[in-house]
Structure 1
Amino acid sequence: MIGIIAAIDEEIDFFIKNTEIIETSNDNNVIFYYLKKENRHIILAKSGAGKVNASMTVTKMIDKYKPEIIINRGIAGGLETVEVGNFVTGNKMVYYDVNMSSHRSNHQHGKVRGLPLEFTSDSKLVANFYNFCNENKITSLVGIIATGDYFVSNSTYLDNISREISNILAVDMESAAIAQVCYLHNVPFLSVRAISDIITTSYKNEEFTLNIKNACCKLAEQILGYICTI
């Protein structure tokens, strides 16, 4: 069984409309959809935005359904090195809003005490999805996704993040939290994001609003196709 977690309605609608729904269940306001596509069985959950919602949802999914792998998919803000509509596969996920350093300790920015600085996606899943996108002529980049509880739309704020964490391709609000839970439960994990907006000095909120639906559908279609190959 494959687990899929997304944050908002726009990110799950395509799956619901293009699969067979076997069952739905509600676990304390987390709705799980048991889906089937060809010979693949899928558990889909809408987590809601943010690290706490994401962590709670993936924990429930692992405890209740024990998926063999978990894919976190959704949208993200991109840096100027990517373009709207590109996919970013996170081979590494980091927190940009965690800072446990003080005059008594010397922890790297983003590192939770006792845990890795970076949480990694399963290398085989990353490679397979990258190859799948290439075969379908979809631009898919592999790199670092930075996660925090802030909707980043301000280039100055993004610059501050980039100074602490180098080589970021995208920022979101869930990936690292889900990756951390999967790391602790030893569940293979993959995070893929469609870029809905580019965060620059000329950023306009309309960009996100205009691109969100198309980005969500485009990524969902490819994820569903990919799932049917594994």
Structure 2
Amino acid sequence: MIGIIGALDIELNFLFENMVIARTELIADKTFYLGHIKNQEVVVSKSDIGKVNASITATIMASYFKVKLIINTGIAGGLHPAQVGDIILANGLSYFDASTTAIDDAPHGQLGDDPLIVKTDKAYLHKAINVFNKLAYDYKIGHIVSGDKFVTKIRTLDKISKNVTNILACEMEGMAIAITAYKFNIPFISIRGISDVVEDKGQTLSYKKIAHEIAKKSSQFVLSFLGVLNESNKA
């Protein structure tokens, strides 16, 4: 079974339109939809916004539903050279708002013994790249950073940028899902469409106008990706 997590309804609506839902389960305050997409057995859930909600959802998927892969889909703010409409495939994720530098030698973004960067599974990353190329999407591969804040100023990311290179997007859930998958030894991928670019003129207006369209574009990738995985299973 493959787990799919989005934070918002708009990030999952297109997937639900293409899903055969067999049943739903309510655990904590999260609803989990079980069924099939592209003949793949899946469990899909809206985590809601933020790292705590994301980690709760991912933990339930890992421990209760025993998923073999977690896909995080949705929208994000971009950092140049990323542009509105680009799709970002994460090759690693980090926190941008976590730090214990005042009391220890850990770099900004790292907590305790956890890794500073959680890397995307290489095999699934390669399959995702093949899907991107097939779809002819404008995509970029780089790091995504997460924190409990909608970022409108580049300076918000100054500290993490000193420790993590090639940051192309920022959002509010991905690293929490990544670190949960890492601790459960479950591969994951993170796919985010750029709905706005940090500090661009009209950033928040861009988000409000185009978020639905970009969320659907990200979901279309997930749909194609699931089809590729299904073909791989038959091979």
TM-score by length of 1: 0.95
Q: Is the 8 A contact 1:2 1:43 kept in 2?
A: yes
Instruction: State the alpha-carbon separation in 2 of the partners of residues 156 and 193 from structure 1.
Output: 22
State the Cα deviation string for residues 173-221 of structure 1 (Å, max 9, x = none): 1111111011100001111101110112524311101110000111101
- The 1:13/1:171 distance shift into structure 2, 3 A limit, reads same
Instruction: State the alpha-carbon separation in 1 of the partners of residues 113 and 184 from structure 2.
Output: 15
- SS of residue in 2 equivalent to 1:4: strand
Superposition pairs of residues 103-114 of structure 1, within 5 angstroms: 104-114=103-113
Query: Match for residue 197 of structure 1?
Result: 196
Query: Match for residue 117 of structure 2?
Result: 118
Query: Match for residue 89 of structure 2?
Result: 89
Instruction: State the alpha-carbon separation in 2 of the partners of residues 130 and 63 from structure 1.
Output: 29
Instruction: State the alpha-carbon separation in 2 of the partners of residues 23 and 228 from structure 1.
Output: 22
Check if 1:229 corresponds to 2:228. yes
Instruction: State the alpha-carbon separation in 2 of the partners of residues 105 and 157 from structure 1.
Output: 21
Instruction: State the alpha-carbon separation in 2 of the partners of residues 151 and 134 from structure 1.
Output: 30
- The 1:39/1:223 distance shift into structure 2, 3 A limit, reads same
Instruction: State the alpha-carbon separation in 1 of the partners of residues 99 and 208 from structure 2.
Output: 31
Instruction: State the alpha-carbon separation in 2 of the partners of residues 43 and 124 from structure 1.
Output: 21
Check if 1:100 corresponds to 2:83. no
- The 1:158/1:211 distance shift into structure 2, 3 A limit, reads farther
Q: Is the 8 A contact 1:96 1:165 kept in 2?
A: no
Instruction: State the alpha-carbon separation in 1 of the partners of residues 97 and 129 from structure 2.
Output: 28
Check if 1:24 corresponds to 2:24. yes
Identity of aligned residues (%): 34
Query: Match for residue 10 of structure 1?
Result: 10
Note the residue ranges of structure 2 that are not aligned, 5 or more in a row.
230-235
What's the offset of the Cα at 1:153?
A: 1.8
Q: Is the 8 A contact 1:5 1:71 kept in 2?
A: yes
How many residues of Structure 1 are paired with residues of Structure 2 in the alignment?
A: 229
- SS of residue in 2 equivalent to 1:229: helix
What's the offset of the Cα at 1:163?
A: 4.4
Instruction: State the alpha-carbon separation in 1 of the partners of residues 207 and 106 from structure 2.
Output: 34
Q: Is the 8 A contact 1:154 1:203 kept in 2?
A: no
Query: Match for residue 166 of structure 2?
Result: 167
Instruction: State the alpha-carbon separation in 2 of the partners of residues 223 and 26 from structure 1.
Output: 24
- SS of residue in 1 equivalent to 2:61: helix
Instruction: State the alpha-carbon separation in 2 of the partners of residues 84 and 204 from structure 1.
Output: 10
TM-score by length of 2: 0.93
Superposition pairs of residues 18-57 of structure 1, within 5 angstroms: 18-57=18-57
Query: Match for residue 126 of structure 2?
Result: 127
What's the offset of the Cα at 1:144?
A: 0.5
Instruction: State the alpha-carbon separation in 1 of the partners of residues 37 and 172 from structure 2.
Output: 28
What's the offset of the Cα at 1:228?
A: 1.5
Q: Is the 8 A contact 1:130 1:140 kept in 2?
A: no
Instruction: State the alpha-carbon separation in 1 of the partners of residues 219 and 137 from structure 2.
Output: 13
Query: Match for residue 179 of structure 1?
Result: 178
Instruction: State the alpha-carbon separation in 1 of the partners of residues 70 and 111 from structure 2.
Output: 22
- SS of residue in 2 equivalent to 1:65: coil
What's the offset of the Cα at 1:61?
A: 1.0
